[in-house]
Amino acid sequence: MHFPFTKAASILDTLTDHGFEAYVVGGAVRDYLLGREIHDVDIATSAHPGDVAALFRRTIPVGIEHGTVLVVHGGQHYEVTTFRSESGYDDFRHPKKVTFERSLEKDLMRRDFTINALAMDRSGRVIDLFNGQKDMRLRLIRMVGKADNRISEDPLRIMRGIRFTAELGFGLGDAERRAFRERASLLRKISVERIDQEMTRLLAGEAARGAFRFLSETGCFRVLPRLEQAASSALEAVRFALLRSDEERWAAFLSALDIPDVHDFAKAWHWSRAREKRVIALQEADRIRQEADWNLIRVYRAGPNLAQAAERLQAAFGREDMGLLDSRMTQIDHLWRALPIRGRGDLAVHGGHLRQWSDEKPGPWLAKALAEIEEQVVCGGVPNELEAIQSWFEAWQKRKRKS
């Protein structure tokens, strides 16, 4: 058998050489078996946290009360967690009691979905006690044990399950679909930050459109903040896979659902101010693009990144032929490269020049004049040269006085 996690091999070797069991567990095994990119490699062991800390030179006690020690090895971080069982989820998230176990089976029993309850030993042998590999072949998300019980422990597992359908293109098991529907209201007990994390990852999934149907069919959609009256079916027409950032996907999400008050939504979902501003800017760029094609001044005002993001939104909503997307990106790039300036700071003049050339007292006219000079330079009406701009400004002042 082949052990694919070569960089983590010495960690398992160290633990087993000292008489402990050790396995790579969870998502890393799942993604390896599915041929997906592997991110974090987590390790489960019979060693207690103190043993782990003593065996490795560089460790960080990130969650030692729950049995987790971060081992720093080969420039990477590995979560090494003692086999454990959990009970008494009074707050629908944190277990009231964590018990360290000597059995891998007990540890795998506490995991949420069968596809995550997988382990691999140092020889490359897969330990699959709950038919996770079968569910992979069937392309189904199923829970370990009774779905009702696992949801009662942590209702966020509803959102996690549907998020996995988006990322993997899987369906939901019958028992899970039923349990999600019956217990959807428990999502109201979950912090909105945790729900936002799952929804953000769901939107990025290649099969997001199918996941929206699960959100609707199970009634989860209507219990999420500010989505009580939203028609989730509108989301199924959007090609989210064309969008490149979380903000682009959220902008498409809100536009598709015709949610006009981004600030109110952002407040309800506890967004950062930076994300809110970015989503608003994307929606405004998208609105401008719907009204007219790109030209020098529009690309200058939006910037190339925002303009290209708006173009992807056009394609995602089917307003533009997807086959033209690359040429549209090239057009925006050419317009940006053709600009004589990239910002007002690149102008050959500033407000001091205008005050020097004018006998008027400083006032609103100054900002208006700078804005007009900026547009004239961008569009080629006047060269970005001091003398040329002075001539244009003096002529502009004369016209203004006559009017």
Percent residues over pLDDT 90 in the chain: 86
> CA–CA separation, 112 vs 179, rounded Å?
14
Position 85 confidence tier, pLDDT thresholds 50, 70, 90:
confident
**Which range has the worst mean pLDDT, 68-77, 80-89, 114-123, 198-207?**
80-89
Contact 250, 227 (CB under 8 A): no
Residues facing 172 on adjacent strands: 141
At residue 321, the pLDDT reads: 85
**What are the start and end residues of each CATH 1.10.110.30 domain in the chain?**
139-237
At residue 89, the pLDDT reads: 60
Task: Kindly state the tokens that stand for 262.
Answer: 């981004």
Strand order in the sheet with 22-25: 59-63, 68-73, 76-82, 42-45, 22-25, 118-120, 126-128
Position 86 confidence tier, pLDDT thresholds 50, 70, 90:
confident
Domain boundaries 346-402, CATH class: mainly alpha
Greater confidence, 232 or 277?
Answer: 277
Residue holding tokens 């004049």? 369
**What are the start and end residues of each CATH 1.20.58.560 domain in the chain?**
244-339
Position 115 confidence tier, pLDDT thresholds 50, 70, 90:
very high
Position 92 confidence tier, pLDDT thresholds 50, 70, 90:
low
pLDDT digits (tens, 9 = 90+) for 286-313: 999 999 999 999 999 999 999 999 999 9
The fold of the 1-133 domain, in CATH, is Beta Polymerase; domain 2 (3.30.460)
> CA–CA separation, 104 vs 108, rounded Å?
6
At residue 96, the pLDDT reads: 66
Q: Is the pLDDT of residue 119 over 80?
A: yes
Q: What is the DSSP letter of 112?
A: S
> CA–CA separation, 327 vs 319, rounded Å?
15
At residue 101, the pLDDT reads: 85
Q: Is the pLDDT of residue 90 over 70?
A: no
At residue 88, the pLDDT reads: 59
User: In terms of Cα–Cα distance, which of 218, 110, 221 is closest to 171?
Assistant: 218
Q: Which CATH number is 244-339 given?
A: 1.20.58.560
At residue 169, the pLDDT reads: 97
Q: Is the pLDDT of residue 47 over 90?
A: yes
**What are the start and end residues of each CATH 1.10.246.80 domain in the chain?**
346-402
User: In terms of Cα–Cα distance, which of 167, 170, 225 is closest to 194?
Assistant: 225
pLDDT digits (tens, 9 = 90+) for 364-398: 999 999 999 999 999 999 999 999 999 999 999 98
**Which range has the worst mean pLDDT, 27-31, 32-36, 65-69, 265-269?**
65-69
**What are the start and end residues of each CATH 3.30.460.10 domain in the chain?**
1-133
Residue holding tokens 């028992």? 175
Average pLDDT across the chain, whole number:
94
Position 1 confidence tier, pLDDT thresholds 50, 70, 90:
confident
What pTM was estimated for this model as a whole? 0.90
- Render the burial of 248-281: b for 16+ CB within 10 Å, e for the rest: bbbbbbbbbbeeeebeebbeebebeeebbebbbb
Q: Which CATH architecture has domain 139-237?
A: Orthogonal Bundle (1.10)
Q: What is the DSSP letter of 46?
A: S
Position 163 confidence tier, pLDDT thresholds 50, 70, 90:
very high
Q: Is the pLDDT of residue 91 over 60?
A: no
